[in-house]
Chains A and B, each alone.
Chain A
Amino acid sequence: MTTAPYDDSPPRHALTVLGAGVMGVGITVLALGHGLPVHLVDIDRERLDRAADLIDGELRLAELMGALPAGTALGTLATDTSLKAAAGATAVVEAVTENAAIKAAVLSEVSGLVRPGTVLITNTSSIPVDELAGALERPEELVGTHFMNPPYLIGTAEVVRGARTGDAAMAAVAALLTALRRRAVVVRDAPGFVTSRILHPMINDAARVVEEGTATAEDVDALMQGCLGHPTGPLRTADLIGIDNLVDSLTVLHERTGDDGCRPTELLLRLVREGRLGRKSGRGFYDYT
Chain B
Amino acid sequence: MTTADTPNTHDLEKELLGFLEGRTGTAWDADTDLFDAGGLSSLFAMQVVVHLEKTYAIAVRGADLRLDNFRTVRRMAELVDRLRVAAAGGRHG
Q: SS class of chain B's interface: helix, strand, loop or mixed?
A: helix
Contact A65-B49, Cβ < 8 Å, known A225-B38, A232-B41, A279-B43:
no
Encode contact with B along A205-243: 1 for CB under 8 Å, 0 otherwise.
Answer: 000000000000000000001100000100010001000
Cα A225 to Cα B41 with chains together (Å) = 13
Across the interface, name the chain B residue whose C-beta is closest to A61: B46
With an 8 Å Cβ cutoff, the count of chain A residues facing the other chain is 15
A63 close to B (CB within 8 Å): yes
The answer to whether A153 touches B38, judged by C-beta atoms less than 8 angstroms apart, is no
B30 close to A (CB within 8 Å): no
The answer to whether B41 touches A65, judged by C-beta atoms less than 8 angstroms apart, is no
B42-79, CB < 8 A from A: 42-43, 45-46, 49-50, 65-67, 70
| A60 partner, pick from B41, B49, B70, beta carbons under 8 A | B49
Encode contact with B along A222-266: 1 for CB under 8 Å, 0 otherwise.
Answer: 000110000010001000100000000000000000000000000
With an 8 Å Cβ cutoff, the count of chain B residues facing the other chain is 12
Cα A232 to Cα B67 with chains together (Å) = 18
Cα A236 to Cα B40 with chains together (Å) = 12
The answer to whether A57 touches B38, judged by C-beta atoms less than 8 angstroms apart, is no
Q: Shortest beta-carbon distance, B23 to chain A, in Å?
A: 10
| B46 partner, pick from A60, A66, A236, beta carbons under 8 A | A60
The answer to whether A60 touches B65, judged by C-beta atoms less than 8 angstroms apart, is yes
Q: Which residues of A contact B38 (CB under 8 A)?
A: 225-226
A138-172, CB < 8 A from B: 150, 153
The answer to whether B45 touches A64, judged by C-beta atoms less than 8 angstroms apart, is yes
Across the interface, name the chain B residue whose C-beta is closest to A222: B38
Across the interface, name the chain B residue whose C-beta is closest to A63: B65
Q: Shortest beta-carbon distance, A117 to chain B, in Å?
A: 38
B12-52, CB < 8 A from A: 38, 41-43, 45-46, 49-50
The answer to whether A66 touches B66, judged by C-beta atoms less than 8 angstroms apart, is yes
Q: Which residues of B contact A64 (CB under 8 A)?
A: 42, 45-46, 49, 65-67, 70
The answer to whether B67 touches A66, judged by C-beta atoms less than 8 angstroms apart, is yes
Q: Shortest beta-carbon distance, B58 to chain A, in Å?
A: 14
Q: Shortest beta-carbon distance, A220 to chain B, in Å?
A: 16
Q: Which residues of A contact B66 (CB under 8 A)?
A: 63-64, 66
Q: Shortest beta-carbon distance, B50 to chain A, in Å?
A: 8
Cα A252 to Cα B90 with chains together (Å) = 58
Cα A240 to Cα B70 with chains together (Å) = 22
Q: Which residues of B contact A240 (CB under 8 A)?
A: 43
| A57 partner, pick from B45, B46, B67, beta carbons under 8 A | B46
Q: Shortest beta-carbon distance, B5 to chain A, in Å?
A: 24
Cα A65 to Cα B42 with chains together (Å) = 7
Could you write out 5 A-B pairs with CB less than 8 Å apart?
A61-B45, A64-B46, A64-B49, A65-B42, A150-B43
- Chain B residues near A (Cβ < 8 Å): 38, 41-43, 45-46, 49-50, 65-67, 70
Q: With A64-B49, A150-B43, A153-B42 given, can you name 19 additional A-B contacts, CB distance below 8 Å? A: A57-B46, A60-B46, A60-B49, A60-B65, A61-B45, A61-B46, A63-B65, A63-B66, A64-B42, A64-B65, A64-B66, A64-B67, A64-B70, A65-B45, A65-B67, A226-B38, A232-B41, A236-B41, A279-B43
A-B interface, 8 closest residue pairs, ranked by CB to CB distance from nearest: A61-B46, A63-B65, A65-B42, A64-B65, A64-B67, A65-B67, A64-B46, A64-B45
